[in-house]
Amino acid sequence: MNSVFELFKIGIGPSSSHTVGPMRIACMFVKEAYESGELQKCDHIKVELFGSLGATGRGHSSDKATVLGLMGNVPENVDMIEAKKRLKDVIEHKKINLLEIKRVNFDFEKDLVLNGSKFLDFHPNAMSLYMYDENEELLIEKTYYSIGGGAVVSEDDINSENNKQKVDLPYNFKNADELLEKCRKNSLHVSTLMLENEKVFRSEDEVRKGLLEIWRVMQECVKKGCETTGELPVLGVKRRANKIYNKLHEKDGFAMIDPLEVMDWINLWALAVNEQNACGQKIVTAPTNGAAGIIPSVMHYMNKFLGSTFKEYDEDKIINFLLTAGAIGLLYQNNASISGADVGCQGEVGVACSMAAGALAEAMGGTIEQVENAAEIAMEHSLGLTCDPIGGLVQIPCIERNAVASVRAVNSARMALNGDGSHYVSLDSVIKTMFETGKDMMSKYKETSKGGLAVNIVAC
Ligand code: SF4
């Protein structure tokens, strides 16, 4: 992974690895089958979800996302109202329109198997898909992995030599030490270094437009989350963002009496995003859906509360924030993991907190050492966070956890800015520690809903 656009993706809730990933995999599978001519011969299709995908697939809507993907939908532009109608048709008639061009047999109850007790070696989020002809002869079988944040790889990708070729970047970095060294040597901020790297994949204009679009969707999500009332699906938990939003506005907007009221705003923006995510709405993975509230919340904090220092909605500030956050996210993605099923919630909420803290430190004028320190502080105090969503739903503890982590990100940035950048624990050490802690964590605490809150507070 080399581009921030592999971390910030527009998709749908509630989960990047369990909803966005399976939809992308299913769509990829049928497209590949179409290109190889197998889809045209297909009469029956089956899908098996393994490990964490199997264990929490119903709560995360992995099953429905898979069906939509088989019909050719992609998370970026799926029309959820239309999709629900088509889903109903598939379940009722036990037939599915692959890519909307080939109608084949598919019994939603029997042909989509959730196998939560079997884990494949490469990653806990695995999925195999099978196509059969009219004689029930296997035409094609493929296995894919949803490796976090909506990113997917196939078994073929893993073994392919093409994928092992390195992209030639102007400022290639493997770890935080190298990133810092290249920034120092070339007198660059993390964001400006990252922009030069991004220009290998697309023009500067496209990078800027793409990141502003990401920010637009984040803002839209916050707005809708603040406006919407009602309950979250299945658990019936009441949405909180709207109530807090109204309460804060009654107090004359941003003219605060209690200085800590800023925390209420930070909480609000994160809650708004994660409530939207829980309801399967449009979301930006940042770097995952479960942790999608932290970066937008901290960006809203930057815009609203640092307005005397920075012009509100300053495009450069927004773009640089996302570039710096992205650079930090890539360090985690490339050296550890951003998947709750792989390393627990420290890899989702912890990583988002670290990305936001580092980016905020840069936005507030921090040196590269302070940026690294902020990102490190945020992760150091997220180490060990388990993933135990009640009912396999990205609601409890996820929504509130995003709010708490957003405040922690701001605190981490401010702490780093009050120092001179020198610190004892390096960002590389904390990334390594997070990964090792995640690997040592028992599987019941890694998005299987078999431990922690998920078993002590049983979903209704
Ligand atoms: S607990 Fe954390 S990692 Fe697990 S689903 Fe919730 S946000 Fe994602």
244-290 confidence digits (pLDDT tens): 999 998 876 566 678 899 999 999 999 999 999 999 999 999 999 99
Mutate which of 387, 399, 448 for ligand 1? The one with the most ligand atoms within 8 Å of its CB, which is 387
What CATH number is given for 15-163 in this structure?
A: 3.30.1330.90
Cα first-last separation, the chain = 40
Two structure tokens written together for 400: 């509130």
By the 8 A CB rule, do 226 and 272 touch?
A: yes
Mean pLDDT, the chain, as a whole number? 93
Query: Maximum CA pair distance of the chain?
Result: 74
Residue ranges of domains in the chain = 15-163, 176-456
CB of 14 within 6 A of ligand 1: the answer is no
Mutate which of 345, 383, 390 for ligand 1? The one with the most ligand atoms within 8 Å of its CB, which is 345
Instruction: Work out the percent of the chain whose per-residue pLDDT is above 70.
Output: 95
By the 8 A CB rule, do 241 and 288 touch?
A: no
Q: How large is the average pLDDT for residues 131-135?
A: 97
CB of 148 within 6 A of ligand 1: the answer is no
For ligand 1, atom 1, the nearest C-alpha belongs to 387
Q: How large is the average pLDDT for residues 448-454?
A: 89
Predicted confidence band of residue 312 (pLDDT cuts 50, 70, 90): low
By the 8 A CB rule, do 458 and 389 touch?
A: no
Residues 6+ apart with CB under 8 A from 342: 123, 124, 125, 147, 148, 438, 446
Q: How large is the average pLDDT for residues 146-157?
A: 91
pLDDT at 255: 63
For ligand 1, atom 5, the nearest C-alpha belongs to 394
Higher per-residue pLDDT: 448 or 293? 293
CB of 290 within 6 A of ligand 1: the answer is yes
269 Cα to the center of ligand 1, angstroms = 18
The torsion region of residue 239 among left (phi > 0), alpha (psi -120 to 50) and beta comes to: beta
pLDDT at 84: 85
Predicted confidence band of residue 459 (pLDDT cuts 50, 70, 90): low
Q: How large is the average pLDDT for residues 326-349?
A: 96
Give the integer Cα–Cα distance in Å for 242 and 227: 6
| Ligand 1 atom nearest to 288, measured from its CA | 8
By the 8 A CB rule, do 102 and 31 touch?
A: no
| Ligand 1 atom nearest to 344, measured from its CA | 3
- Closest residue by Cα to residue 70 from 54, 53, 59, 86: 86
> What are the C-alpha distances in Å from 242 to residues 12, 87, 251, 351?
21, 31, 15, 27
Two structure tokens written together for 194: 């990252």
pTM for the model: 0.91
223 Cα to the center of ligand 1, angstroms = 23
Q: How large is the average pLDDT for residues 31-54?
A: 96
pLDDT at 449: 84
Please give the DSSP secondary-structure letter assigned to residue 347: G
- Number of CB atoms found within 10 A of residue 90's CB: 20
For ligand 1, atom 3, the nearest C-alpha belongs to 345
